[in-house]
């Protein structure tokens, strides 16, 4: 059974009047850009759809998934942000590198969230192959970036 990850209950979101005053950051890895850029666009489109002003959405590019934690920490320190989404895609290969990258970004985001300053939303795909990633960045399983924006809005308004 496949589930579209982009379906959510719009009634759980605040109104556009609230969202128009909020700021969000999306930190996106350039590695696997075919996937990550589609996810970032899904997040931006979702924010705009619900009333976040375009000028209140910061898009920050970092080289790869490991660098997402630093990018998120930096933007949280430099600007008033209501929530941050980190977007990356790690596709398993033949070496343990996959495990180290996934562990690094997961621990980094958990550490930032434990600080309790700003919610950091984990929109990092950790998949076995390219097709699984394509299915989750606008394919048959929706767009994980859309889900990330929805989650960011909910957490910013907790």
pLDDT digits 0-9 by tens, 12-36: 899 899 999 999 999 999 999 999 9
Q: 84 - beta bridge partners?
A: 25, 120
Poorest-pLDDT segment among 65-69, 81-85, 91-95, 112-116: 91-95
Mean pLDDT of the chain: 94
Q: Are 46 and 150 in contact (CB under 8 A)?
A: yes
* pLDDT given for residue 5 in this prediction: 56
Is 50 assigned a catalytic role? no
Q: Indicate the domain borders of the chain.
A: 21-156
Which of 21, 49, 97, 117 is flagged as catalytic?
97
Identify the residue whose tokens are 């996106």. Answer: 28
Alpha-carbon distance of 57 to 101, in angstroms, equals 27
Poorest-pLDDT segment among 47-61, 90-104, 121-135: 90-104
**Which superfamily does 21-156 belong to?**
Lumazine/riboflavin synthase (3.40.50.960)
- Given a cut of 60, is residue 2 above it in pLDDT? no
């Amino acid at each position: 059974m496949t589930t579209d990850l982009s379906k959510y209950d719009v009634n759980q979101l605040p109104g556009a009047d609230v969202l128009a005053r909020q700021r969000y950051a999306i930190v996106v890895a350039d590695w696997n850009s075919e996937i990550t850029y589609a996810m970032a666009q899904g997040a931006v489109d979702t924010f705009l759809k619900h009333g976040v002003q375009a000028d209140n959405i910061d898009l920050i590019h970092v080289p790869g998934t490991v660098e997402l934690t630093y990018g998120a920490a930096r933007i949280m320190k430099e600007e008033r942000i209501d929530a941050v989404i980190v977007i990356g895609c790690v596709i398993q290969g033949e070496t343990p590198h996959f495990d180290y990258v996934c562990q690094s970004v997961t621990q980094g985001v958990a550490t930032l969230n434990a600080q309790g300053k700003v919610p950091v939303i984990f929109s990092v795909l950790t998949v076995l192959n390219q097709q699984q990633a394509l299915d989750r960045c606008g394919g048959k399983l929706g767009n994980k970036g859309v889900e990330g924006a929805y989650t960011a809005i909910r957490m910013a308004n907790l």
